[in-house]
Structure 1
Amino acid sequence: MNVSETMETEEDLLTCLHIKFYHPEQHTKGFYSLLHPGNRSKHSADEPLRLGRDAQVCTFSLVDRRVSRKQLALYAYRTADSPDMLFTLQNLSQIAKMYVNSSALDFLERVDLPSKALVRFGQYEMLIVREAGEAKASFEVELDVLSAPPSRETCACESDTVPVMDTGSQLTPKPEIQDPLETDETEDCHSLNTPPCM
């Protein structure tokens, strides 16, 4: 069923972001219990989409204490020379680097997303695919969970934007930063394998 047909709108066709998640422990942990995979939702183009652990401030929440309260944000935008709705991604985590295809993003850094992008932070992989539409004021998001890491299948999309190193391996090297823990101020930070509190 096309969800956009059931929504009240004057627009013909909504742009849709297909966001597909993978984590190696997803079958034993309830990381996605607040995401409702398989559902489409409509969003206003003038509001950012935030993903993180804090369900109060984020549009989509992961139930994982290793995820930052606000991990990333997606912003819709348009340009004068294109009819398409485009998106930029910003890293909101002060702890973890984020990788978009082969580009590393530090805290508050942004990158324009191509029509297909592999986003990685910690052990999470997100495949974001943009399906073009005609709408100007809103777009849809469809969430899903993958059974295998998308990095195995996205070498082509990475090589479109960044030269592939001749290392004998087709896969991009994994990020060196794995699973940072974001702690609350009330927790004992020494018990969480993090640097001492300042």
Structure 2
Amino acid sequence: MSSFETADTEEIATCLSITVYHPSQEEKQVFRALSFCQRQQLRADDLVKFGRDCNVCHFNFVDGRVSRIQFALQFFRHFNSSEFGFEIKNMSKKVKLTVDNVELAYLNKVDLPETCMVLFGEYQILMQKQGGESEDYFDIRFELAEKSLLQEKRLLKKPILDYGMIQNDSPIEIDENE
């Protein structure tokens, strides 16, 4: 038997692609501690912390306005499923974290959708999950955006109104007998 036949089958790891943007990134170099455009493998049981403290966090933002631990990601398997996901928890007592328009206060957490926008302070972070089957590890890959991710997202998701329709956001009273 050849070594090819007896070698372990290579599992594809779930990968979380993270695109980061800050309006002052050119001057302040807030992302200089991140490695871009390469996959970084992490253990499935790691609680992956992001923040200012390089002694505690896996991934650092070089900015005094970022909390020591800003947020954490946990890899998990969905109940009664073979699909993996991530949950995000706000670890900052001072700064709220917004995940696709859901505001998280300190210690609040939510499951990350396949694609989502995470915001805090002036930071814009686009997270996109690519599925895999490994239950022992997952990958994270960083990319640096040159333009505001919010502006790009708004351009893609502009609402299309029918001609002549007037949108009324105030409640309309309706008689029960009608």
If the length of structure 1 is used for normalisation, what is the TM-score?
0.72
Q: Deviations over 1:49-77 (max 9, x none)?
A: 10000000000001000000000000011
Establish whether residue 44 from structure 1 lines up as the match of residue 38 from structure 2.
Answer: no
Q: Find the residue that maps to 1:153 and give its secondary structure.
A: helix
Q: Find the residue that maps to 2:57 and give its secondary structure.
A: coil
Q: Which amino acid aligns with 1:121?
A: F
**Alignment partner, residue 25 of structure 1:** 24
**Alignment partner, residue 104 of structure 2:** 105
Q: Give 5+ residue unaligned stretches, structure 1.
A: 1-8, 160-165, 168-198
Q: Find the residue that maps to 1:151 and give its secondary structure.
A: helix
**Alignment partner, residue 61 of structure 1:** 60
Q: Deviations over 1:20-42 (max 9, x none)?
A: 10000011112111112222100
Q: Which amino acid aligns with 2:129?
A: R
| Counterpart Cα distance in 2 of 1:153 and 1:144 | 15
| Counterpart Cα distance in 2 of 1:30 and 1:37 | 13
**Alignment partner, residue 138 of structure 2:** 139
Contact 1:52–1:69 under 8 Å retained in 2: yes
Q: Which amino acid aligns with 1:18?
A: S
Contact 1:118–1:154 under 8 Å retained in 2: no
| Counterpart Cα distance in 1 of 2:113 and 2:97 | 16
Structure number with bigger Rg: 2
Structure with bigger strand share is 2
Structure 1 residue 10, shift from structure 2 partner = 5.3
| Counterpart Cα distance in 2 of 1:42 and 1:102 | 29
Establish whether residue 126 from structure 1 lines up as the match of residue 125 from structure 2.
Answer: yes
Structure 1 residue 80, shift from structure 2 partner = 3.3
Q: Find the residue that maps to 2:26 and give its secondary structure.
A: coil
If the length of structure 2 is used for normalisation, what is the TM-score?
0.80
Q: Deviations over 1:108-164 (max 9, x none)?
A: 00011000010000000000000001111110000111011212233578x9xxxxx
**Alignment partner, residue 75 of structure 1:** 74
Q: Give 5+ residue unaligned stretches, structure 2.
A: 1-7, 160-166, 169-178
Matched-pair identity in % = 34
Q: Which amino acid aligns with 2:95?
A: A
| Counterpart Cα distance in 2 of 1:110 and 1:123 | 20
Q: Which amino acid aligns with 1:15?
A: T
Number of equivalences: 152
